[in-house]
Amino acid sequence: MSTSPYLSQAFDYSSVELKSPSTEIRLLQLYPSHPHESDGEKPDTGPIWDDSLVCHLYTTPIDNPENFKALSYVWGDDTKTKSITVVGSTPTGKTPGSGAVSSQRTSVIRITESLSTALRSLRGRRQDITLWIDQICINQADNDEKGQQVGLMGAVYSRATQVLVWLGPAADGSDALMDAFKSIGQGARDFGIESYLTRERYHLIEPMVSDEQPDDPATKGLQELLDSTAEAFAELLKDMTFKNWISRPYFSRAWIVQEFCLCADTVFVCGATKTLPVELIMFGLLMLKLAIGNAKRSNYTALLLPLLPLQRLQEVNQEPMAQLLSCRAIRQKHGGEPLYKLLRKCFVGHDTRAREHRDRVFALLGLAADADRLGIRPDYGVSDACILTRTARALIEMNGRVDTLCYSQFPKAIDHLPSWVPDWRSNLRPSFYTVNEVTNPHLFAASGKDSVLEAVAPTNEEEDQKHALGLRGWFVDVIEKIAEGDGWTDLGWDHIRYRHFFTQVDDLWKCSMEKNDPIHGDDTTATRRRKEEARWRVPIGDVYWTVEEGSQRASTDVAVYHGHTLKNIQYFERINQITPVDNYDRENDTSDWQERHRNGEVGQNYHDSMVVMKDKRPFLTQLGYLGMGPLEAQPGDAVVIFCGGQIPFVVRPLGPPPDGFQARQQSIYSFVGEAYCDGVMDGELIVKEKQTFFLS
């Protein structure tokens, strides 16, 4: 078919009207590239690039739709340089057949080049395929319809017979990588790896990976599979085939999360011929990570330095599919996660993108287990700021998620957003305090163990309160001093930066020790002893991390490891400053340091524990509290605790406080950020009178 028989007028969506956009959808019947070929004349493989795309649109009820496949893809450039011809104008039902196309009324829908490429690869030579595609099936120019149809996307992807994940054309060795995933993934499935992927049985994998019982049949089987995995993937990692594959734009798109997770039958499609179930990718990726973790023990030299650069291994650990597969597994097995956890999983520390900021929320509603209760609906008739504010208010006031405030970070990506509202942009900084609430108890309880959120409606409709968040809580103190410079931003071992940071903490700590306010009780000796501990608790936020135990509240033993870290700094200062003429025995000192490092005597875990305090700045309050706060904090800011919150926050009073700062009972503040404040993390201040804080 050529394009000549078809008219070029734009398609009129009213010709296939959705009588009820909240209960109906349009489907696209994509015609084959060679409808007149007889069976057996040519194999049904490969796209026909010089043919027009031709389709028919019709409607179907979402509660009982006709069978269809849903496409999950990347729009690409907004410029719609390609087109698809639409034949027929009946609102419901398929056309009599693609052979009669030339005699029917036709029109054109402009589409992106990315979608055009996908459709040319996905269509058959002689058979129609019925699809749902957002770019075509939704009238993108009608915001009312768009909002209602986006609200149905969860149902669309749940009710599709199959979801086609289009990764793009074959390139950069993608065929070879898909073959490796297919081979290893199927091998893992045949082994029965899925039976071990439960909370009760997952621990059984490690002894088999470690080859603890070489004669055990299951261990033998897994060891053989690991050998095959190392052989299959080594070269694909080394030549960056794997990196190029996971760097495809699809994996950074916000909308893919629900599209990827909702349908039981979801397949990756890469190029014209490579199609693979998601589960085989998941199993293959798991085996690859197990093989890398076992490389030294099993002597997989192809996965070790120097044959495989460290950067290639890091790419496997940082691949973007892990959160996708996690979301999918939870959805398929347990029905989904709350919106707050999905937002955090997608946008904190991940480069997840959306065309509009509101889509960062809308893209997850179909997957969120609490979407209906929160009452958030897709609405393209209001601003991004309005949608994000509604979302933040619902998460905080209805779900009690005070920790939503941890992700209100500066500078904001959009204008006119209240200070307390997260923009959920890509790569938000992780909170210094994150706990898996399903499996682990909270480490902190700044507002008390049984405290719940107490929200307060604004008392008037003045501009400074109209979008305010009112929360009850406790005033801690005013920040008096804050460390200068860029805060704690370096994660590498740089003894100069470490020395500078510890000097800043120690200077503020000495000032704290000189203050006489009884912030830890009336017992002067006990208060002084507890204030001494702040010197080593503050740099790690009072959370000590080890490989064996994970993150735990720091015990008094950690003071020793803090001392080891300081000695480690002194060691590096010494070997970098002393010259040969000083008769310094560098070799013996280095050997001694290496021995102490092996014995855990150089503060390795302590400075590893400091990672969570990245982008925090030490501060001292007027009463003598020592803590770590956001980079944006300033002297005069207040440290506060909100009811239902596990950690304190820093806020900034708007205007001079009347009649003394502490006496201010209902005040307007600008939100600044999360904080660790030593001595108030376990409900010590809940005996004080509560106040109301309005965040602007």
Chain segment 321-339, per-residue pLDDT in tens: 988 998 998 898 888 899 9
Cα distance between residue 339 and residue 428, in whole Å? 16
Task: Answer whether 621's CB lies under 8 Å from 477's CB.
Answer: yes
Mean pLDDT, rounded, for 462-478 = 84
Quick check: 39 pLDDT over 70? no
Note the pTM of the prediction, 2 decimals: 0.86
Residue 450 has which token pair? 């049984």
Query: Is pLDDT at 44 greater than 70 in this prediction?
Result: no
Mean pLDDT over 40-62 rounds to 72
Higher pLDDT residue, 103 or 347? 347
Q: What own/partner pairs with CB < 8 Å and gap ≥ 24 does 261-265 have?
A: 261/324, 261/327, 261/328, 261/331, 261/332, 261/367, 262/154, 262/157, 262/158, 262/163, 262/331, 262/366, 262/367, 263/70, 263/157, 263/158, 263/160, 263/162, 263/163, 264/332, 265/161, 265/162, 265/163
In this prediction, residue 589 has a pLDDT band, given cuts at 50, 70 and 90, of very low
Which residue, chain included where needed, has tokens 């034949």? 87
pLDDT at 574: 72
What pLDDT does residue 461 have? 60
pLDDT bin (cut points 50, 70, 90) of residue 2 is very low
518 prior amide bond cis, ω within 30: no
Q: From CA 369, how far away is CA 371, in angstroms rounded?
A: 6
Sign of CA dihedral 566, 570, 571, 573: positive
Q: For 270-285, what is the mean pLDDT?
A: 94
Query: Does residue 665 or residue 509 have the better pLDDT?
Result: 509
Query: Which of 359-368, 384-393, 482-491 has the weakest average pLDDT?
Result: 482-491
pLDDT: which is higher, 50 or 179: 179
State yes or no: pLDDT of 237 exceeds 90: yes
pLDDT band of residue 240 (cuts 50, 70, 90) is: very high
Q: Which has more confidence, 52 or 628? A: 628
3-state percent breakdown (helix, strand, coil) of the chain, nearest 5: 40, 15, 40
Higher per-residue confidence, 89 vs 348:
348
pLDDT for 34:
74
Q: What is the rounded average pLDDT for all residues in the chain?
A: 87
What does the longest C-alpha to C-alpha distance in the chain come to? Answer: 97
- pLDDT, average across residues 655-684: 78
Q: Give the integer Cα–Cα distance in Å for 469 and 490.
A: 34
According to the per-residue pLDDT averaged within each range, which of 48-52, 87-91, 515-519 is highest?
Answer: 515-519
**pLDDT value at 586 more than 50:** no
* CA quadruple 380, 383, 385, 386: dihedral, nearest 10: -70
Mean pLDDT along residues 87-99: 56
Confidence of residue 53 (pLDDT cuts 50, 70, 90): very high
Mean pLDDT of 421-427: 96
Contact indicator for 321, 276 with CB cutoff of 8 Å: no
CB 658 within 8 A of CB 677: no
Consecutive H or E run containing 298: helix 295-298
Which residue in 243, 320, 249, 247 sits closest to 74, CA to CA? 249
pLDDT on residue 5: 43
Lowest-confidence pick of 182-191, 441-450, 555-564, 657-666: 657-666
Q: Taking the mean position of all CA atoms in its chain, how far away is CA 628?
A: 24
Amino acid at the residue 262:
L
Would the pLDDT of 234 be above 50? yes
Q: What is the pLDDT of residue 495?
A: 77
Q: Distances in Å between the alpha carbon of 2 and those of 52, 54, 230, 650?
A: 6, 10, 49, 65
Q: Is the pLDDT of residue 659 over 70?
A: no
Mean pLDDT of 565-591: 60
Residue 431 has pLDDT above 50, yes or no: yes
- Which residues are within 8 A (CB) of 254 and not within 5 positions of it... i.e. 6 or more apart? 346, 352, 353, 354, 359, 360, 363, 364
Residue 159: predicted pLDDT: 97
Indicate if the pLDDT at residue 178 is higher than 60. yes
